[in-house]
Amino acid sequence: MAHQDISQYRFTDGKLNLRRFHQAKWDEPIIFELSRKGQRGILVPEVEEEMRSKTGDVLATLPETMRRQEPPKLPELSQPQVLRHYLRLSQENLGADLNVEVGQGTCTMKYSPKINDQLASHPKLAELHPLQDEKTVQGILEIMVRFEQILKEISGMDRFSLQPAAGSAAIYTNASIIRAYHESRGEAEQRDEVITTIFSHPSNAACAKTAGFKVITLYPDEDGYPDLDALKAAVSERTAALMITNPEDTGIFNPRIEEFVAVVHDAGGLCAYDQANANGILGITRAKDAGFDLCHFNLHKTFSSPHGCGGPGGGASGVTQELARFLPVPLVDFDGQKYYLDYDRPQSVGVLRPFYGYAPVILRAYAWVMSLGAEGLREVAEIAVLNNNYLLKKMLEIPGVSAPYAKSRRRIEQVRYSWETLTQETGIHSEQLGLRAADFGIHYWTSHHPFVVPEPCTLEPTESFSQDDLDEYVDIIAHVADEARTNPQLVKTAPHNSTIHSIDHTPLDDPSRWATTWRAHLRKVRETED
């Protein structure tokens, strides 16, 4: 196998062999630009007279108000053109299954077992419709109830909703529950402040804000840990909740988490635990045991369903018995005879999104947990932490990189590194290292909101990668860092073996030029150019 080749022949005459890689480049236009009037993928034959005479005008039953006034402005292409287009784009991509994907820290890019994909695309699941009668979907409802029991065991919480569409949706759910709780006690107006930390995932601040709270952000103390004294200074009778990630996005576990929870509880606030970074603590610590009132998991990432654009994602909000009445509707329940959707929950925060969760995501997560068992889950966490600290040690051997904050302490499942020293010495930035690393076929990602750590990169090796994989990754990074000193021009002009050579990011800072749709592109960019 190719993989074994590279580890077997890692060195020639004491010199490191790095993987040789070159990406396909197709100069492929945007699909709208390929459109030619009248091109068609399929020409549907006319309905035979015999059939038409029996069915009549099938469209006549559609109400006038639901009919399109004009056809959608879709690109007009033949089927092979469409196929070719997307195959080409897929070749111009450095996907998660194509490389040693440890460079996208905070995203837990673990391997998603393909058998779980097969289960999710099985017609028994794929052909279900959320509007089907409960009686006809007992199987998937049972899986949802069973999966909820698993999440309860992992977190210690008493009830879960699987409805949220992803991590941020689950955090928003929790913020809504916090508001509903204080409303139920007549304190909603008074308790309008949510406290978070700068290295908690920024969704905590964003969701609290969206749910109507004021947001207070704590900065780390001198040792780089979440600042307990700052928390004590921040809490008051206005505190609605603490919403934090732990370990934080730096990979640092808050050693005073119990005190954090106690300070907020003493002030009358709730504590919500963003467990997006749970991969290193599965089976080891539990949110409720630490005193939290709410938590959430990402079923994509931690529970192996594909992440982000490979998704869709899935969130799960968990709460204590006291807060269960506020969970979104419906909850899935079992009455001893059958599984059913419970909408009769008068204090619920309502419906977060249609239906009751992404069934394929829940099925993948359930299958993943069942294939591991409780011991396997703990092993996942242990290997993820071991992998990360192995990588940390190897990375810190590279001159010019550091792991800021909590000096010389180990990290949980990821590390936010800083190349500040290398940048000062060579003028090469973290982003440029990443572009050069792409020349060796690995992904290295530099989006790290907020920009507190200079020249950041965050690596999260998860449990999916072997020692050989990690060695290959870190060898490439070490090689590129060395090139920054010996041949900076080569690094600055990278990538050389990839499709896209450099992207001008400045329009992204300019609302008048950014365009997320073709229509917006035509309006904002093409028209102004003409």
Partner 1 sequence: MLERRLGLIVNPVAGIGGRVGLKGSDGAEIQKRALELGAVPQSMKRAVQAMERLKSLDHLEFITYPGEMGEDAVRACELEPRVIGSIKPGETTPEDTRNAAREMLQLKVDLLLFAGGDGTARDIYRAVGTEVPVLGIPAGVKIHSAVYATNPGNAGELAALYLKGRVTSLREAEVMDIDEEAVRQGAVFARLYGYLKIPFRTSLVQNLKIASAGEGASLASIAYDIVQKMEDDCLYIIGPGTTTRAITSELGLVKTLIGVDVILNRKLLAADVNESQLLALLEGHPAKIVVTPIGGQGYLFGRGNQQISPEVIKKVGKENVIVVSTPEKLYTLGRQSLWVDTGDPFVDKILTGYTRVVTGYNERAVRKVSC
**Residues found near partner 1 in the complex (CB under 8 A):** 198, 205, 209, 213-220, 222, 224, 227, 229-230, 233-234, 424, 427, 429-431, 445-452, 454-456, 504-506, 508-511, 514
Give the H or E element holding residue 34: helix 31-34
- Among residues 127 and 229, whose Cβ is nearest to partner 1? 229
Q: Alpha carbon of 466 to those of 86, 110, 397: distances in Å?
A: 31, 12, 19
Q: Which amino acid is at 358?
A: Y
| Count of CB atoms situated within 10 Å of the CB of 151 | 22
Rounded least distance, CB 265 to partner 1, Å? 19
- Among residues 136 and 512, whose Cβ is nearest to partner 1? 512
- Among residues 183 and 221, whose Cβ is nearest to partner 1? 221
- Among residues 49 and 509, whose Cβ is nearest to partner 1? 509
- Among residues 223 and 322, whose Cβ is nearest to partner 1? 223
CA angle at 109 for the pair 199 and 246, rounded to the nearest 5°: 30
Rounded least distance, CB 508 to partner 1, Å? 4
Question: What does the alpha-carbon distance between residue 116 and residue 95 come to, in Å, rounded to a whole number?
Answer: 19
- Among residues 184 and 447, whose Cβ is nearest to partner 1? 447
User: Are the CB atoms for 276 and 298 separated by under 8 Å?
Assistant: yes
* Diameter of the chain measured on Cα atoms: 83
Rounded least distance, CB 513 to partner 1, Å? 11
- Among residues 288 and 300, whose Cβ is nearest to partner 1? 300
User: Which has the closest alpha carbon to 310: 25, 98, 26?
Assistant: 98
Give the H or E element holding residue 266: helix 257-266
Rounded least distance, CB 234 to partner 1, Å? 5
Rounded least distance, CB 174 to partner 1, Å? 18
- Among residues 456 and 461, whose Cβ is nearest to partner 1? 456
- Among residues 139 and 427, whose Cβ is nearest to partner 1? 427
- Among residues 40 and 214, whose Cβ is nearest to partner 1? 214
User: Are the CB atoms for 85 and 32 separated by under 8 Å?
Assistant: no
User: Are the CB atoms for 463 and 301 separated by under 8 Å?
Assistant: no
Rounded least distance, CB 298 to partner 1, Å? 16
User: Which has the closest alpha carbon to 161: 169, 153, 272, 283?
Assistant: 169
- Among residues 35 and 446, whose Cβ is nearest to partner 1? 446
Rounded least distance, CB 434 to partner 1, Å? 8
Rounded least distance, CB 510 to partner 1, Å? 8
Please enumerate in sequence order all residues whose Cβ is within 8 A of that of 267, keeping only pairs 6 or more positions apart, or say none.
235, 236, 237, 239
Rounded least distance, CB 215 to partner 1, Å? 5
Q: Which residue stretches of 295-437 are H helix?
A: 359-396, 420-426, 430-437
Q: Sign of the CA dihedral 164, 166, 169, 173?
A: positive
Q: Which residue stretches of 97-223 are H helix?
A: 114-120, 123-126, 138-155, 167-184, 203-210
- Among residues 172 and 445, whose Cβ is nearest to partner 1? 445
Residues paired with residue 296 on neighbouring β-strands, in sequence order:
274, 317
b/e map 121-146, b = 16+ CB within 10 Å = eeeebeeeeeeeeeeebeebbebbbe
Question: What does the alpha-carbon distance between residue 361 and residue 364 come to, in Å, rounded to a whole number?
Answer: 5
Rounded least distance, CB 431 to partner 1, Å? 4
Rounded least distance, CB 194 to partner 1, Å? 10
Q: Residue 357 CA to chain centroid, in angstroms?
A: 16
Q: Residue 279 CA to chain centroid, in angstroms?
A: 13
Question: What does the alpha-carbon distance between residue 407 and residue 331 come to, in Å, rounded to a whole number?
Answer: 45
